[in-house]
Amino acid sequence: MPHYTKTPWTLSVYDLLHRAGEMREHSIEVVVPERLGEGQVAVQAGAVLDLDVRLEGLHDGILVSATVTGTATGECSRCLKPIAEPVEVDIAELFAYDVDEAFDYQVHEDHVDLEPVVRDAVVLSLPFQPVCRPDCPGLDPVTGERVEDIPDYQPREGVDPRWSALAGFQAEAPADTARADTERADTTSKPDESA
């Protein structure tokens, strides 16, 4: 009987314990219990990750190397269309026997828990601003409609009503400049008056 809580991420290393030089390989499928990632795309709960794992016994612990593949799903950051992104990450971490060692992970009794290692690697690999395609035109800023769904879409170049007063101001600018020139001319004439 194992003395640990078995999860989809735990792997027995019983037959490798303190056997430096021994090696085992496993191909496992993990049905993700909790979503990996908080961004616009994530590996969702219930999705399957394939782990090709190699376990190697070392003197200090067990070296776990794995290639993790799967699919992240979510929304395009520009047009909000559902998208799927392939995930493929490699991990390599030493799980130490000794809890006092300066390693992030430990062998717990006769197993290793891959969850934190896989989670960190997968989450780091996810794009911050995923797009359905590199030239996705996004949403119309006024109506919020998906631009690629609008036939003959014309980008809006009309002037915002709030700027119409400014347009009038610009038209008067040359007159202001002329007045400033006149004032400057008056100033230069003053020394003559005092003389």
Summarize as ranges the residues that interact with Zn ion (CB under 5 A). Answer: 76, 78-79, 81, 132, 136
Taking the least distance from each CB to Zn ion, the nearer of 38 and 135 is 135
CB of residue 122 vs Zn ion: minimum separation in angstroms?
Answer: 23
Amino acid type, 111: H
Write the burial class of residue 10 (CB in 10 Å: 0-12 exposed, 13-18 middle, 19+ buried).
middle
Report in angstroms how near the CB of residue 135 gets to Zn ion at its nearest: 9
Assigned token pair, 106: 């430990």
Q: How far is the CB of 131 from Zn ion (least distance, A)?
A: 5
Give yes or no for a contact between 132 and 83, defined as CB atoms under 8 angstroms apart: yes
Rounded to an integer, what distance in angstroms lies between the CA atom of residue 26 and that of residue 54?
6
Q: How far is the CB of 152 from Zn ion (least distance, A)?
A: 19
Nearer to Zn ion, 24 or 81 (CB): 81
83 bridge partner residues? 74
Nearer to Zn ion, 57 or 130 (CB): 130
Give the bridge partners for 62, in sequence order. Answer: 57, 95
Instruction: Between 30 and 132, name the residue whose CB sits nearer to Zn ion.
Output: 132
